[in-house]
Structure 1
Amino acid sequence: MFTFTPLLGAQSESSASQSLLELDGGIKILIDVGWDVTFDVEKLKALEKHVPTLSIILLTHATPAHLAAFAHCCKHFPLFTRIPIYATTPVISLGRTLLQDLYSSTPLASTLIPKSSLSESSYALQSSDPSGNASDFLLHPPTADEIATYFSHIHPLKYSQPHQPLPSPFSPPLNGLTITAYNAGHTLGGTIWHIQHGLESIVYAVDWNQARENVLAGAAWLGGAGAGGNDVVEQLRKPTALVCGSTGAQSFSLPGGRRRRDELLLNSIRATLSKGGTVLIPTDSSSRILELAYLLEHAWRAASDDSLKGSRLFLASRKIGTTMKYARSMLEWMDESIIREFEADDSSTLPQRRSTANNRPERSIGHGGNQRDSHHTTRHAGPFDFRYLKLLERKSQVDRALAIEGGKVILASDSSLDWGFSRDVLLNIASNSSNLVVLTEKHRSSSADEPDSSSLGRLLYTWWDIGKGAAVAPSSEDIPALVPGQGREIHISEAHRVPLEGQELVIYQQYLATQRQLHNILQSEQGANLDNAADAVDDASSTSSSSEESESEHQGKALNISATMAHSNRNKLGLSNEELGINVLLRRRDVHDYDVRNKRGREKMFPFVAKRRRGDEFGELIRPEDYLRAEEREEVDGLEIRGTAADSAQGLGQKRKWDEATGANGSKNRRQLDDSNKRQRDGKDVGAVNSSELDASEHPVGVSSLGFEDEGSSSESEADEPATIPSKLALKTRTVGASFNVTFIDFMGLHDKRSLQMLIPLIQPRKLILVGGTTDETSTLADDCRKLLSARLGASAEIGLDILTPIVGQAVDASVDTNAWVVKLSDTLVRRLHWQSVRGLGVVTVTGRLEAKESPNLSLTSLTKRQKLDRDNADDIAEGEDHGSVKMAKEPPTLDVLPASIAAATRSVAQPLHVGDLRLADLRKIMQASGHLAEFRGEGTLVIDGLVAVRKTGTGRIEVEGGGLFAPGQRSSNMEGSFYAVKRKIYEGLAVVSGG
């Protein structure tokens, strides 16, 4: 079973991507947690509902469309951080800097508290705002350290590395699920996911690029860079389902490819710089910015005249220093040309470094700086060791760069122009008609006649798309058409944080108190429900009917706690003692007594939360600290005591409680320390909302001005971190006259119509699911694929290819159509089987007898007892029967050997089966190694010795046609002709499975 549900990004104007894959056995896989520039919390409601049932999470690209909501989910969805997450190393590193840049650039990313949640949490809100129009309160944004902690929990994977992930604590077993990452191009570390589970082979490929670029290699469909093959790699060929993006299905790439694209950009820059203008290139701050930075830096290095070298080149982003530091350490993830360039630079600088080391004592002190500068200018720079590109990380640096006279080029984040330094630069250069804005990404617009002004990048792209027909004619074909702004007004909304005061602060504090309390209750109840689920079922089946009614009532109260968190209107300040019931002994402080008179079921027993024991296929997880000797434990505790020496020093000479008595060495009570250490190790501190923040293993090192002389920057103190005080959102609208020119050059690095039409027929999926594009792009690609695959299959087109085009929130069934069942094999039958290995899979033919056994989970006696107890309630009887039938259906039947009396009569007389998939290219190598002449002629025809022709049909059938037994003057060593030699080699390449 395979069900696919797009949560975001299917036939939609939004570029955000979220996909949910449901496999057999209740396995749920979430791929990507994207968001768009609106940062609307309502778009994450569907994802929030599925969080308690997710098994694993996969990430594909380090772009806002694929992981912008990751930090928000980790901070505000309680169970999200307990789900295993997998991604490649570049996606983890670049995604970390992307979100740090995002949250430090705009308060909109913090998101607004829903007004319904505020009204449920505080009576003061209704009295102060009876109309219901509450202020726009902002949630606390994740800090840079918290974001680093969230990304440190992601499990890194390498390309082509099969991995069997571990499920989340609340997920069913994965039953051999295997995930494999392949290069997708488009971004550094971008991933095509291959998911194998049973008979389901799923390839998830949204946003990929087959063409090579300056920094990034092409997608691994045909084997990756340097493969040069014409067939799709075996692991990605013929999947049961292919999830493919439809973006770009209506457009073709630029004629001339990458070189033509780069020439257009450089020529447009030269034309603007010759007029003394400023060129703004908005781009993302993590992935695609590497391609543009590498291109411009090497163009400045190779420039022979002063058209480029006489101008300044800047790269502005709040975390760009850390991003480039990560890029220098991940050259192996880039194209082979980058690796060769790095190796060539390293080998050429080795003799120079040796000569410099030998001459170092002869240097004079007075000229040390000049020698250092001359050495810096003459040495060879690596791919990302910038000579001309200056990095800007603060607003003051950007302002000083804009104040420099003369032409300049500024790369700035973000491509949407809705946040980041690109908006600030645009406001500065808007009034000059000599300036140029180069858009590098297409922005979807709902209507060409009524452009959506909520996104500034979308508005400018709509201007260019409408006015490119009447654009300024370029003086040369090597310069793209420019669309002038003509003084049109742009209304820009600027978001600011305003601290809360007075009654607003009271409302916000009441909201936080309620959410914290309910969060702790839910977190504890979730663990108790997971651990005691089986015990609750057994208790329910063994108690009396009156106790069952009472317990179901109290269990309903416990289950309603989750609903209370979002919909409670009865108690504005949290749950009352009556609603907590017996759990008040655990949840409330200083509550030590509870009246159990006239109580039934679990309300009469002291509550106990069993510690959940975690384990894997090898058994229970071992904690080394549980096996420490006494002296080793004292050493560990002593380190923790020394770590808190400052706090202990403050306690000397002051009043203490009896349980805080200190010994001669000044340490506190040993039992108290042991308890606190145990709570920290177990992670059971219910008062800590974000306990995962204490486990940060790595933090990015911010570089303020890497390779850029920042005059006076040391005396400034700009706060890059967002404010942590309670605040609300204040919007200020500015109107600016747009006199600059706008042009578009496609640097998205995505697949186009030609790539989709070429590769999808080669992949040969059994089911095709199209997501990630607009409605027109999706329907266009679906029609094209039906025509192409029908022409390729020919007579076998009636076998059919299901092309599914779901919309957001629509679940589609993409299960493989095979006659397959799950059965148990008896021990006697297993001992008689002779398995054949076919490409890592075991194949065998079986003749046996199916025996349906009753489920051991529900005996006939217990089912009869329940029916007798519920005799007066017909509905309950029906429910009990249905419940029993479901449990019996979950037990698979057993396949056993046939009895001796009927074994002879039912013995199979079928011919042996040949299992496997022999490629003609492999057959050609085999025949050449055997001394035969083998070559391809025509379309997919292999000719051997000029006498035998071998073809392979679209359904996998191999056809052999022979014109003679022996070639003239040629006879094999075993007197075998060419025709029989070909047939023998074909059979040797297949696994023979006996039919008996």
Structure 2
Amino acid sequence: MAIIIIKLVLRATISLWANITCGDMTSIIKFTALQGALDEGPLAYHLQIDDFNLLLDCGWDEDFTEEKLQPLISVCGKLDAVLLTYPDLYHLGAIPYLVGKGHLTCPVYATMPVNKMGQLFMYDLYLSRHNYEEFDLFTLDDIDNAFDKMVTLKYSQTVSFSGTGQGIRAIPLAAGHMIGGAIWRIVKDGDEDIVYAVDFNHKKERHLNGCSFDALSRPSLLITDAFNANVQQEKRRDKDGRLLTEMIQALRRKGNVLVAVDTAGRSLELIQLLETLWRNPESGLMVYSIALLNNVCYNVLEFAKSQMEWMSDKIIRSFEDKRNNPFNFRHIKCCHTMADVDQLPEPKVVLTSVPDLQSGFSRELFVRWCENPQNSIILTSQTSSSTLSRQLIDSPSVKQLHINVKSRVKLDGEELAEYHKKKMEEKMEEERLRAEHEDQEDSESELSDEEPEAHIPGEKQDQHDLLLTNTHTKSRSGFFKQAKKMFPMFPYVEEVLKWDQYGEIIKLENFQFSEVKLVDPPLQMAPSLELEPGRAEEIMEVDEEVTGVEDDNIPTKCVATPRTLNIAAKIVYIDFEGRSDNKSVKELLEKMKPRQLILIHGTQDSTMSLAKYCRDNEVCLGEIFTPGVGE
């Protein structure tokens, strides 16, 4: 066996040479942290194996800061493939933007649930922003285009790359944490293996199995996170008990409960737990209302019903034996608007997105309920330090907050008149330009269709299309001068037909009917039933409320109102993130014994603490790297 040499280059100056006996091959591996290093922000990493370039995850922050994507944009042109691990904002949030702007053109690989749930994640995030503020970084069409181009895989399915990636294969393995979550094993020529494992969960949950590292022993390079390196989690039973206690206490004091969850990831575990509690008659919760509120609630549940094979063994056995689908809920109501929630009787429990409280329904409900001491606000995940949710977790005793309350309102008065005037001017300008363009096309097509006739020298050309006798062509003479020429037929210009690749172009105006407005017959009323002054307006308002008809074409604008909130509701943080804690991570690293180790995605304290533990206990045979962003 020959000696393998693997070279890891960090920041183009830090290098490591390690002698690993693997086979007759030499590879140069370069790793660069574009985001998510020595912090808890979104994840994005550039991995280069010889001349083959991979992007590991493609996340974005909660505020959609374009400046933070510049390192990603700078490497998009040379990428050969993208590997995604989870369907949330931190792992794939930048995909619609990069694809929509044309920066990212290479294939994107993910499991089927990551593809579908990730699309629903981005739908909900877009609508949560668009419904309250001006948001134009990407559109719903950009989301559709980005996710339609993804290549979906199953667990343990191998994808082999070509070109500069000849001999390199990528295999997704179950990671837990979220449905479809993947640990990526990247193999070079069957000898070297690089494992990318972040945010995994080895524990079995209600709707998901845990991950397994049995097939990942002694990898050449392990890239993993230090997010929970200093966190000792509660037992699942204790967390479930705390959640139940907080809800019951709030409901019994006639208060509402807001549970901030994500769109289609960890929320599936929570709604499974709460549906089980509500079905238990001993819990006493059946008399209270419970709802799941987000913009794509129905789609999330419908897709979850069809993905039984991606869930835990217990769910699969229950479905196979009894045809029992755990997402056929009897108590949890599916809501898409605030009006749906308002119709539920109080007190009630509402699980709503997004978990950071930066936008969407969760922020609106927080503003409504946070000043009532009978209510409770339950936070289930740690977001980045700049978010409202993290501020409440770090300072649970805060009593006053200064925030901007954003909303979208309809235009009226002078603003509406100005808007219609501007639209009319734009429409007239468009019609003028279109008419000029059509005239220009007509003239060009007529000129191109005119073919000059062959002229024989010495022969007099006929001036008309018809053959005329000499009697008609004979010049007239007389005392009076003729006023104008006389033609033997009415002049006719043949219309030039326009064609495209589908045939003759059809003019829609030739097939349109004039609009006929149906006028309702006047209302016949007895003299004794004549409406009182102002009564007609009330009836019209009631009729609009009953029919629910609303003109979607009414223009709107976004306004932000500064507001001071006096926090009186009880705020509780219960960790339902579903990640392995520090003890479990250390045990798994000792079991894997990687030859090289790169630690990412964690605060500086947690990253350095885990690196020190690995060095002291000789977890890694080679060097341990803790790069920062850009390194």
| 1:661, distance to aligned residue in structure 2 (A) | 6.5
Q: Does the 8 A contact of 1:246 with 1:777 survive in 2?
A: yes
Alpha-carbon spacing, 1:435–1:757, altered in 2? closer, same or farther (3 Å): same
- 1:320 is displaced (CA, Å) by 0.9
Task: Quote the offset at 1:272 in angstroms.
Answer: 1.5
Query: Could you say if the C-alpha distance between residues 778 and 302 of structure 1 is closer, same or farther in structure 2, counting changes exceeding 3 Å?
Result: same
Superimposed CA distance per residue, residues 879-898 of structure 1 (whole angstroms, 9 cap, x where no aligned partner):
xxxxxxxxxxxxxxxxxxxx
Aligned with residue 548 of structure 2, among 715, 718, 721: 715
Aligned to 1:769: 598
Alignment counterpart, residue 83 of structure 2, candidates 53, 58, 63: 58
1:4 counterpart letter in structure 2: F
Cα shift at 1:27: 1.0
Matches within 5 A, 1:501-516: none
Displacement of 1:343 in angstroms is: 2.9
- Does the residue aligned with 1:66 lie in a helix, a strand or coil? helix
Work out whether 1:283 is the aligned partner of 2:195: no
How far apart are 1:102 and its partner, in Å? Answer: 0.8
Deviation at 1:713, TM superposition (A): 9.2
Partner SS state of residue 383, structure 1: coil
Whether the aligned pair in 2 keeps the contact of 1:185 and 1:218 (CA below 8 Å) is yes
In structure 2, relative to structure 1, the CA distance for the partners of 1:15 and 1:658 (3 Å cut) is same
In structure 2, what is the Cα distance between the partners aligned to 1:139 and 1:749? 33
Pairing partner for 2:111 from 61, 71, 88 = 88
| Counterpart among 252, 257, 260 of residue 238 in structure 2 | 260
Equivalent positions of 1:403-442 (< 5 A) are 404-405=345-346, 407-442=347-382
What are the equivalent positions in structure 2 for 1:464-863 lying under 5 Å apart? 464=396, 467=397, 487-494=399-406, 658=496, 660=498, 667-668=503-504, 715=548, 731-789=560-618, 800-810=621-631
- Please identify runs of 4+ aligned residues in structure 1 that moved more than 4 A: 495-502, 716-719, 727-730
- Contact 2:251–2:348 (Cα < 8 Å) also in 1: yes
Distance 1:108 1:10, change over 3 A: farther
**Structure 1 residue 178, shift from structure 2 partner:** 0.3
1:164-186 CA deviation, whole Å, 9 max, x = no partner?
145xxxxx521121000001111
Q: Which runs of 5+ in 1 are unaligned?
A: 111-136, 167-171, 222-231, 347-380, 446-453, 468-484, 510-588, 591-654, 670-711, 794-799, 811-996
- Which position in structure 2 is the counterpart of 1:457? 389
- Of 205, 219, 227, the residue aligned with 1:239 is 219
User: TM-score normalized by structure 1?
Assistant: 0.47
Alignment of 1:126-145 (within 5 A): 139=136, 141-143=138-140, 145=141
The answer as to whether partners of 2:132 and 2:360 remain within 8 angstroms in 1 is no
Q: Which residue in 1 is equivalent to 2:469?
A: none
Q: Which residue of 2 aligns with 1:134?
A: none
Q: Check the 8 A contact 1:61/1:187 in 2, yes or no.
A: yes
- 3-state DSSP of counterpart to 1:204: strand
**Aligned residue in 2 for 1:555:** none
Shift of 1:493: 4.3
**Alpha-carbon contact 1:284-1:415 (below 8 Å) kept:** yes
Q: Give the CA deviation at 1:342.
A: 2.2
* Gap change, CA 1:387 and 1:714, over 3 Å in 2: farther
Preserved contact between residue 416 and residue 456 of structure 1 (Cα < 8 Å): yes
Q: Paired residue for 1:382, among 301, 311, 325? A: 325
Shift of 1:220: 2.3
CA contact (8 A) 1:490 1:737 kept: no
Q: How far 1:298 moved relative to its partner? A: 1.1
1:439-476: CA deviations, max 9, x gaps?
A: 1112454xxxxxxxx52101111123xx5xxxxxxxxx
* Alignment-derived partner of residue 308 in structure 1: 285
| Change beyond 3 A, Cα 1:297–1:717 | farther
Amino acid at match of 1:668: E
Q: Does 1:15 align with 2:41?
A: yes
Q: Does 2:71 correspond to 1:250?
A: no
Higher strand share: 2
Q: Which amino acid aligns with 2:106?
A: I
Q: TM-score, normalised by structure 2?
A: 0.72
SS, match of residue 277 in structure 1: coil
Distance 1:718 1:342 in 2: 45
Q: Secondary structure at the match of 2:618?
A: helix
Task: Name the residue aligned to 1:359.
Answer: none
Contact 1:494 1:734 in 2 (8 A): no
- Which one of the candidate residues 389, 394, 399 is aligned to 2:337? 394
Per-residue deviation, residues 855-911 of structure 1 (Å, max 9, x unmatched): xxxxxxxxxxxxxxxxxxxxxxxxxxxxxxxxxxxxxxxxxxxxxxxxxxxxxxxxx
CA deviation string 1:340-395 (max 9, x = no partner): 2223432xxxxxxxxxxxxxxxxxxxxxxxxxxxxxxxxxx630001000010123
**Where does residue 196 of structure 1 map in the other structure?**
187
Secondary structure at the residue paired with 2:504?
coil
Tell whether the 8 Å contact from 2:410 to 2:554 is kept in structure 1 after alignment.
Answer: no
Q: What is the 5 A alignment of 1:803-952? A: 803-810=624-631
Paired with 2:225 and 2:371, the residues of 1 have a C-alpha distance of: 39
Q: Secondary structure at the match of 1:760?
A: helix
d(CA) in 2 for partners of 1:806, 1:498 = 49
**Using a 3 Å threshold, how does the CA distance of structure 1 residues 203 and 393 change in structure 2: closer, same or farther?**
same
Residue 730 of structure 1: how far off its partner (Å): 5.1
SS of 2:160's partner is coil
- Distance in 1, matches of 2:250 and 2:329, equals 23
Query: 1:946 matched to which residue of 2?
Result: none
1:3 aligns with 2:30: yes
1:276 aligns to what SS in structure 2?
Answer: coil
Shift of 1:258: 1.8
Question: For the Cα contact (< 8 Å) 2:400–2:564, is it kept in 1?
Answer: no
Instruction: Spell out, residue by residue over 1:413-446, the C-alpha distance to the aligned partner (whole angstroms, 9 max, x if none).
Output: 011011221111111112211111111112454x
User: Whole-Å Cα distance in 2 between the matches of residues 303 and 716 of structure 1?
Assistant: 41
* 3-state secondary structure, aligned to 2:165: coil
Partner of 2:183: helix, strand, or coil?
strand
Q: Is the 8 A contact 1:102 1:109 kept in 2?
A: no
The alpha-carbon deviation at position 79 of structure 1 amounts to: 4.3
DSSP 3-state at the match of 1:93: helix
Return the match for 2:66 from 41, 48, 51. 41
1:342 aligns with 2:342: no
- 1:218 and 2:210 matched: yes
Q: For residue 761 of structure 1, report the CA deviation from its aligned partner.
A: 1.4
Letter in 2 for 1:28: N
> Does the 8 Å contact 2:175/2:183 carry over to 1?
yes
Distance in 1 separating the partners of 2:263 and 2:551: 20
1:32 aligns with 2:32: no
Q: Is the 8 A contact 1:39 1:109 kept in 2?
A: no
Closer/same/farther in 2, CA of residues 220 and 495 from structure 1, 3 Å limit: farther
Amino acid at match of 2:586: Q
Instruction: Confirm or deny that 1:206 pairs with 2:198.
Output: yes
- d(CA) in 1 for partners of 2:499, 2:315: 64
SS of 2:159 mapped into structure 1: coil
Contact 1:165-1:177 at 8 Å conserved across structures? yes
Separation in structure 1 between the aligned mates of residue 562 and residue 183 of structure 2, nearest angstrom:
42
Instruction: Look up the equivalent residue of 1:247 and give its one-letter code.
Output: F
Q: For residue 21 of structure 1, report the CA deviation from its aligned partner.
A: 0.4
Instruction: Name the % identity.
Output: 31
**CA displacement at 1:150 relative to structure 2:** 2.0
Q: Decide whether aligned partners of structure 1 residues 495 and 34 sit closer, same or farther in structure 2, where only a CA change above 3 A counts.
A: farther
Give the distance between the partners of 1:63 and 1:109, measured in 2 at CA: 21
Q: Say whether the 8 Å CA contact 1:394–1:718 is kept in structure 2.
A: no
Q: Which residue of 2 aligns with 1:160?
A: 156
Structure 1 residues 656 and 29: CA distance shift in structure 2, 3 A: farther
CA RMSD of aligned residues (A): 3.1
1:253 counterpart SS class? coil
Q: Distance in 2 between matches of 1:656 and 1:103?
A: 53
Letter in 2 for 1:150: A
